[in-house]
Amino acid sequence: MARRRLKASELRSNFEPGSSRWAVRRAQWRALGLSDADMEKPKIAVVNTSSEIAICFSHLDGIAKRAKEAIRAAGGLPFEIRTTAPSDFILSAGRRATYILPSRDLIANDVELQVEGPQLDGMLMLTSCDKTVPGQLMAAARLDIPTLMVVCGYQASGEIAGEHVDIEEVFLHAGYHAQGATSFDRLKEMSEQAIRSPGVCSGMGTANSMHSVTEALGLALPGAAPVAANSPAMWDQVDRAGARLVEMIWEDLRPREILTPAAFRNAARVNLAQAGSINCIKHLQAVALEAGADVDLYETFDRESDRIPVLTAVRPIGSHSIEAFEAAGGARGTMKRLEPLLETEALTCTGQTLAANLEGVEITDDAVIRPLDDPHASEPAIVLLKGTLAPNTGIVKVGLRTPDRKLTFRGPARVFETSADAEAALSAGRIKPGDVLVLRRQGVRGGPGMGGASRLVFAVEGAGLGPEVAVVTDGQLSGLVNKGLVVGEVQPEWAEAGPIALVEDGDTIAIDVREKRLDLEVSAAELARRRAAFIPPEPTTDSGWLSVYERTVSDLRKGASLIPDARRKEK
């Protein structure tokens, strides 16, 4: 069914001639060299997270230039705007890595200020490193003006003596080096060879997972993800997206028509089939809240994990490269395989349904993207746990299960409140096989901002204890699969007086992935006594962005969102 096309006078950016807003805007824009004819066109924000501080974003200025040319050629008027440009590996140096997750919400607010203030008509988002994707999606859902996401690509990884090396492996081996398992010279060589082009991390970590999820949601063009940075396929996507966005504005096709509960369920299914990042769960929940979509992504992932097989095994959970996955069909290929399990009536940015977008799609390599009846695994790679230690949730990234993969663990707790203290205990030999390391005060409020716990996990593996100990934390984890049992994002977190705040050294903790259980074997009466003695924490900061975040952030089940409770109730 054809959509009614807007008239130029209906564009929200076209103010009434002679009004104060029209006059001062015309004065500003005439001084920029714009004509009266230009000022009648759809006005489009090209949202650029360019930065010289990280390789992830170093190519975005060139993409912005090309995107603006495509928009002009299609009859639009582009304005490039800049936002915060967070790279986890760079931002993690300060404040115990607590700036990482809060950067997502800062991006959403940056976009709101620079697009809603001037009343622009649409947004072309240049999406790159992993927090830019959900931050931009949140802004799209919040502002609800025509928006397209342009996937700006993954980096080329390197080799050492014919063996693959990428940035995630550098991160992993830094933990090994801390425990003496990797030499300094080897680590230095890896850091010199791991990255050979601009773009995001090359594995199926959070960035490439979120790029796939964006296409599954319907806010990126079909075939957009993954894509090699600066490749012909990426440039073709930029050109097509610029032209398509102008059409979306005339059609008045808005994100909330696309970001429906069905779209979010489809995105969850794609992430499960690709064994993608567990971070997608909280990001999708935050976007759903902004969109007013009535869907609980934690329940969705839990329910869908029992019926969605693992169809791809891209590094780090398998041996396939991201390049092989792209060549085989990428996220669109995954969706084609999943078609019988998807809600294909969902509307997408093309103006067509997902079913229409999947017509004629072919997978070129059955070994890389497996058929439904011959998956890499029928058991889920991502498992959500509950129990007396995690009344709300805890998440395990199991990966592909092998006969020697431990799925149960029971042992005494060793409690730490900083990663540095835990690593010191590990180096001193105070961590023994059978221990359950509890790393707390890492959550969205307790951090604040959810510092990463992966450094400790990699140090444990470097010490040779990976399969012999378990780790339980209210912090977040890297997309890498761990050799031992690692439970992240335990909720309620320490700062909310969740059970993780009440664990003491020597308490018995039991993990059972098959039963989806995480339990603290302490009597209810004893936990009640400890809870009564728990002193709620004071805010850790009294100024700056982290102070604002700490005082306003919701728990993870609400996506670690900054949407006030009143607005949640209205929605």
- DSSP track, 384-437: EEBSSS-SSEEEEE--S--TT---EEEEEEEEESSHHHHHHHHHTT---TT-EE
- Chain centroid to Cα 126, Å, comes to 15
Q: Where in the chain is the domain with CATH 3.50.30.80?
A: 382-541
Fold adopted by 382-541: Glucose Oxidase; domain 1 (3.50.30)
Enter the DSSP assignment of 4: P
Dig out the tokens for 536 from the structure. Answer: 């709620």
Rounded distance between C-alpha atoms, residue 552 and residue 35, angstroms: 44
Q: pLDDT per position in the chain (571 positions), as tens?
A: 578 999 999 999 999 999 999 999 999 999 999 999 999 999 999 999 999 999 999 999 999 999 999 999 999 999 999 999 998 888 888 888 889 899 999 999 999 999 999 999 999 999 999 899 999 999 999 999 999 999 999 999 999 999 999 998 998 898 889 889 999 999 999 999 999 999 999 999 999 999 999 999 999 999 999 999 999 999 999 999 999 999 999 999 999 999 999 999 999 999 999 999 999 999 999 999 999 999 999 999 999 999 999 999 999 889 999 999 999 999 999 999 999 999 999 999 999 999 999 999 999 999 999 999 999 999 999 999 999 999 999 999 998 888 888 899 999 999 999 999 999 999 999 999 999 999 999 999 998 998 778 889 888 988 889 889 999 999 988 766 566 799 999 999 999 999 999 999 999 999 999 999 999 999 999 999 999 999 988 888 888 999 999 999 999 989 999 986 544 444 4
What amino acid occupies position 355?
A
Q: Give the SS3 label for residue 281.
A: helix
pLDDT at 482: 63
DSSP letter, residue 556: G
Q: What angle do CA 57, 397, 101 make, to 5 degrees?
A: 40
> Cis before residue 102, ω within 30 degrees of 0?
no
Q: Hey, how many other C-beta atoms are within 10 angstroms of the C-beta on 20?
A: 9
- The reply to whether 478 belongs to the active site is yes
What would you measure as the largest C-alpha separation in the chain, in angstroms? Answer: 77
pLDDT on residue 571: 40
- Give me the catalytic one of 92, 202, 419, 478: 478
- In terms of phi and psi (left: phi > 0; alpha: psi -120 to 50; beta: otherwise), the region of 201 is beta
Q: What angle do CA 330, 336, 338 make, to 5 degrees?
A: 105
Residue 563's nearest CA partner among 213, 292, 268, 201 is: 292
Any idea what DSSP says for residue 342?
S
Name residues whose C-beta falls within 8 Å of residue 439's C-beta, 6 or more positions apart in sequence: 416, 417, 419, 422, 453, 456, 471, 472, 473, 474, 475
Residues with Cβ within 8 Å of 434's Cβ and at least 6 positions away in sequence, in order, are 411, 412, 468, 469
Query: Vertex 410, ends 409 and 414: CA angle to 5°?
Result: 110
Give the domain 41-156+197-358 fold. Rossmann fold (3.40.50)
Residue 231, CA distances (Å) to 226, 299, 324, 347, 514 in order:
11, 38, 15, 28, 42
In the chain, which residues fall in CATH 3.40.50.2300? 41-156+197-358
Confidence (pLDDT) at 450? 86
pTM score of the predicted model: 0.95
